Structure 1
Amino acid sequence: MALFSMLRRHTYSALALASRAVGSARTFHGAISTVPTFSGDHSPRSSFPTRRFSTATATATATEVIGNESLNGGLESAIKCAQERKIKIPEVPDEFPFEIIDIPGEKTILLKRQFQGETIQVGVDAPHVFPADEDSDEYENDDPGIPMVVSISKENGMQLEFGVTGFEEEVSIDSLSIVHPDHSPEQFPYDGPEFHELDEGLQNAFYKYLEPRGIQCSMTVFLTDYMRKKDNKEYLLWLKNLKGYIEQ
């Protein structure tokens, strides 16, 4: 789906290949280590290795238990902090024109609306902000900007895609591209110049084009609060999933 092409970058394939390579090497080494070897020494000492292995196994098991308990304690502490964090619960403004699609476990949300025969979709990512300290409701940067990808589709499938950052005082267009339905993934169409390289009058015209479609700074304050709340909710769910895995 072209909408999320600027928000999601699939880097996991390379990691998966690397993991398989490492896993294969370990399996091969393990297979070699299990092949029995024989020597001329048949003394009782060499024929009863089980005591030595059982001691090592017991030590490893004890270490594993201690490690699990330590990790569980750390996860419980992190869960408690996330549950106690005070984050403003946003109310959807009456004039907000979009339907919000928020799927649990997803990093982003999707906004959708129809406007004069166009389908407008906005992928919204979380602002990259951190609390000033664990006990504070204040943030290091009170207006970090909300990263968005705005897709405006015509009935014939043609799309305009804007990379946008929403601030409380303004909306900044960072990129612009045309998505043609007939273009295959193997094609590399001309995307035009960088947005900031366009004539200033043309840049201003695009800002005016987006405004009646709902892309304006008035949506930013609400989305900032919404995404901060979602980010903490997803973080808490992630911690609980981790804890559930360790306890299995």
Structure 2
Amino acid sequence: MMSLRAIARAAPRVLARPSTLRPAAAVVRTAAARPSFAITQKASAAFTTSAFRRAPAGEVDEELAAKLSSELEFETSVKEGETLPASIKDFLENGQFELKDVPGQQDVFLTRNFGNEKITVSFSIADLSSFQEQNFEDDALADDQDFEEINSRDSTKSGAADLAEEAEEDMEGGADTDAMPCRLNIVVEKPNKGALNVEAIAQDGTIVVENVYYYKDAKLAHSSNPDAVHAAQDAYPGPAFGSLDEDLQILLERYLEERGITPALALFVPDYMDMKEQKEYLAWLENVRGFVEA
């Protein structure tokens, strides 16, 4: 589900933000307005690289640093009021996967052994940003459609009031809180036997399998090397999962469930993505502010 934190973060940007850009007339200077400088040997000697290095920072630096501090304070206050979701706590305490989450990187990995198999599940917080962006675009489109609907109705207060009431009912009914689909890349490897690469979606507490690939070389399921990526793309992808015999689909889903691809994982991934994205955003604010202030 799209987090309230993400909505709160984006709302000020979507609803109203006064422009900080100056009018063109205020920043364009004519040649006549520029001060003239006499180029003399003495003036040239007074200008040194040392003086250049000690030049003051840009005019907007202080204002930008202050804004970054304000954003950081807001995000920190939001985080302080949160508790660790039960889905994350339970999965990490009771699950059989080992978590690999490197600060500053978008991808998260879960690994475990199952018999002679090595299982890797990966997902990326980049999907969260894409989902939020798409939601905001959809909201903007819906607002445009509502505006057109108002204009198409009789120009009476009742038409606008009816539409406002409908929008309020949608909000109360949770119409804008669609569950976020989280892409999973699942790899099951066996020594000298290659790997199965499963593409799936975690959403609403369920795992939906989309594709199942087989690679004779397990490296094709992991490597980002251009040659490996090209070789993986050339491999026969197999039929669409939904077109398989229904019993075969059920057995493949049970096969994955035995290896830990369960509803608990489907609940864990979206919540963990949201938590990690918040951590990375706070770190980004800190890093950018530090750079601007340096």
- Map 1:110-189; keep pairs closer than 5 Å: 110-126=109-125, 128=128, 140-141=176-177, 143-156=179-192, 158-181=194-217, 185=228, 186-187=230-231, 188-189=234-235
Corresponding residue for 2:237? Answer: 191
1:79 partnered with 2:72? yes
* Displaced runs of 4 or more, over 3 A: 44-51, 92-95
Corresponding residue for 2:165? Answer: none
Corresponding residue for 1:28? Answer: none
Gaps of 5+ in 2: 1-36, 136-173, 221-226
Corresponding residue for 1:204? Answer: 250
Name the structure with the higher helix share. Answer: 2
Q: Find the aligned partners of 1:236 and 1:171 in 2 and give their Cα distance.
A: 30
Q: Find the aligned partners of 2:257 and 2:267 in 1 and give their Cα distance.
A: 16
What secondary structure sits across from 1:193 in the alignment?
coil
Instruction: Say which of 213, 233, 243 aligns to 2:259.
Output: 213
Q: Find the aligned partners of 1:118 and 1:207 in 2 and give their Cα distance.
A: 17
The aligned length equals: 193
Corresponding residue for 2:146? Answer: none
Q: Find the aligned partners of 1:165 and 1:180 in 2 and give their Cα distance.
A: 24
Q: Find the aligned partners of 2:280 and 2:211 in 1 and give their Cα distance.
A: 28
Q: Find the aligned partners of 1:245 and 1:77 in 2 and give their Cα distance.
A: 16
CA contact (8 A) 1:88 1:225 kept: no
Give 1:196's aligned amino acid: G
How far has the Cα of 1:195 moved from its partner? Answer: 2.5
How far has the Cα of 1:102 moved from its partner? Answer: 1.4
Corresponding residue for 1:135? Answer: none
Identity of aligned residues (%): 26
Give 1:152's aligned amino acid: V
CA RMSD of aligned residues (A): 3.2
Gaps of 5+ in 1: 1-43, 133-137
The TM-score, its normalising length taken from structure 2, stands at 0.57
What secondary structure sits across from 2:204 in the alignment?
coil
How far has the Cα of 1:164 moved from its partner? Answer: 1.2
Could you say if the C-alpha distance between residues 49 and 89 of structure 1 is closer, same or farther in structure 2, counting changes exceeding 3 Å?
farther
Could you say if the C-alpha distance between residues 169 and 110 of structure 1 is closer, same or farther in structure 2, counting changes exceeding 3 Å?
closer
The TM-score, its normalising length taken from structure 1, stands at 0.66
Give per-residue Cα distances to partners, 1:154-191, cap 9 Å, x unaligned: 01151111111112342111222122228753532222
What secondary structure sits across from 1:105 in the alignment?
coil
Corresponding residue for 2:279? Answer: 233
